[in-house]
Amino acid sequence: MSERDVPSQAHPSHDRGLEFDVATLLDRRRALGLLGGAGLMALAGCTSDGGDGGGATTNAPPGTPSTSASGTPTGTVTASASGATAEVPDETGGPFPGNGTNGANVLDDSGIIRSDITRSIGTSTTKAEGVALTVNLTVTDSAKGYAAMEGAAVYVWQCDREGRYSMYSDGVEDENYLRGVQPTNATGTATFRTIFPAAYPGRWPHIHFQVFRSTSEATSSGEIVKTSQLALPDAVCRAVYATPGYEQSATVHAETTLTSDNVFGDDGGIHQLATVTGDATSGYIANLTIGV
């Protein structure tokens, strides 16, 4: 099922990414005459590589999996996000939030505060199958120099291996798997055990999240501090989608890019692209710092 997310507004200039920041720095330093020509050339050379999931590059991007003779991705993948810590852009929550703003509200259900979100809670215990994925979301406070926000809460939701959203999609309306809330620890991190989501038409593979000031705020329709989305790196997506059960995702993902995505397309998801390590057999770990 397709998620018809509404494109977000263009991000301000301070969110244009590494290349913009370096170019601006170079212009200022040229004007001041603080660097020699050789130093400028060396610094400018740092911006020549393409980002993961975007346009084509001459050399394979970091994190590209090795391939067999048949062209199937194999082995361990390590893919890194682009850009430094910054405030994460606000994005649409999409039409399947499950938080009471569009239909039922799972946030007031007993058991929603949980780390393992692979099973439904309540009357059903159906488990979502797929490649294992651990997601670590670290919340930082932009008003306090991006200090860790201990005691905040993060609500995440995503589609399953078939591209369906529990509570909404045909066949899983009575399920609520792949949704959960976790408090942040002393380092500002909330951890979730989930599965790798599918790719479906019009969208780059992603996970939705909302940040609240506390778990009590999250479970009582309290103030939402941030609504955004995590993007998954191309190399990892290709490795996962080459495994059984993700065949449809492999076809769909081949037709989508970060720059054509209607959420990440304006800046290539530079502040939302997770750093991911692992492999499709033992599972992956995704890390993203969320500046709010």
Roughly how many angstroms between the first and final C-alpha of the chain, as a whole number?
Answer: 30
Inter-residue contact 41 to 106 (CB < 8 Å):
no
Q: Is residue 2 part of a domain?
A: no
pLDDT in tens, 248-276: 999 999 999 999 999 999 999 999 999 99
Q: CA angle 134-77-200, nearest 5°?
A: 65
* Tens of pLDDT, residues 212-247: 999 999 999 999 999 999 999 999 999 999 999 999
Give me the mean pLDDT over the 131-159 stretch: 97
Residue 219 lies in a domain: yes
Pairing of strands 224-231, 206-212: antiparallel
CB 203 within 8 A of CB 262: yes
Q: Is 207 helix (H, G, I), strand (E, B) or coil?
A: strand
How big is the chain, counted in residues?
Answer: 292
Give me the sign of the Cα torsion angle 149, 137, 229, 154: negative
Predicted confidence at residue 27, as pLDDT, reads 38
Domain co-membership, 74 together with 195: yes
Is 233 a domain residue?
yes
Question: Tokens for 19?
Answer: 């290349």
Give the domain CATH number at 287: 2.60.130.10
pLDDT band at residue 281 using 50, 70 and 90 as cut-offs: very high
Q: Kindly tell me the burial class for residue 198, based on how many C-beta atoms sit within 10 Å of its own C-beta (0-12, 13-18, 19 or more).
A: buried
For residues 33 and 71, state if they share a domain: no
Whether residue 59 lies inside any domain: the answer is no
Per-residue confidence (pLDDT) for residue 85, from 0 to 100: 62
Q: Residue 129, Cβ neighbours under 10 Å: how many?
A: 11
11: exposed, middle or buried (Cβ count in 10 Å: 0-12, 13-18, 19+): middle
Is residue 110 located within the same domain as residue 201? yes
User: In this model, does residue 108 exceed pLDDT 70?
Assistant: yes
The count of domains in the chain is 2
| Digit-coded pLDDT (tens) for 19-69 | 333 333 333 333 333 333 333 333 333 333 333 333 333 333 333 333 333
Question: What distance in Å separates the CA atoms of residue 128 and residue 171, rounded to the nearest whole number?
Answer: 13
pLDDT, one tens digit per residue, over 169-216 is: 999 999 999 999 999 999 999 999 999 999 999 999 999 999 999 999
pLDDT of residue 100: 96
The predicted model gives 128-150 an average pLDDT of: 97
Is the residue at 280 inside a domain?
Answer: yes
Which pLDDT tens digit goes with each residue over 159-171? 999 999 999 999 9
Give the other-Cβ count within 10 Å of 206's Cβ: 25
Which helix (H) or strand (E) covers residue 210, if one does?
strand 206-212
Assess whether 92 and 139 both reside in one domain. Answer: yes
At 55-94, the pLDDT tens digits run 333 333 333 333 333 333 434 555 544 334 689 999 999 9
Residues 19 and 101 both lie in one domain: no
Q: Is position 4 within any domain? A: no
Can you tell me the distance from the alpha carbon of 91 to that of 82, in angstroms, rounded to the nearest whole number? 18
> Which structural domain range is residue 150 located in?
65-291
Quick one: how far is CA 233 from the chain centroid?
A: 9
Same domain, 17 and 104: no
Whether 53 is in a domain gets the answer: no
Same domain, 107 and 190: yes
- 177 and 82 part of one domain: yes
Among candidate residues 241, 201, 258, the one with its CA nearest the CA of residue 52: 258
- 38 and 153 housed in the same domain: no
CA distance 53 to 273: 9
pLDDT reported for residue 214: 98
pLDDT value of residue 274: 98
Closest C-alpha among 274, 239, 282 to residue 137? 274
Asked if residue 89 and residue 14 are part of one domain, the reply reads no
Q: Are residues 200 and 98 in the same domain?
A: yes
Same domain, 27 and 144: no
Question: How does the average pLDDT of the chain come out, rounded?
Answer: 79
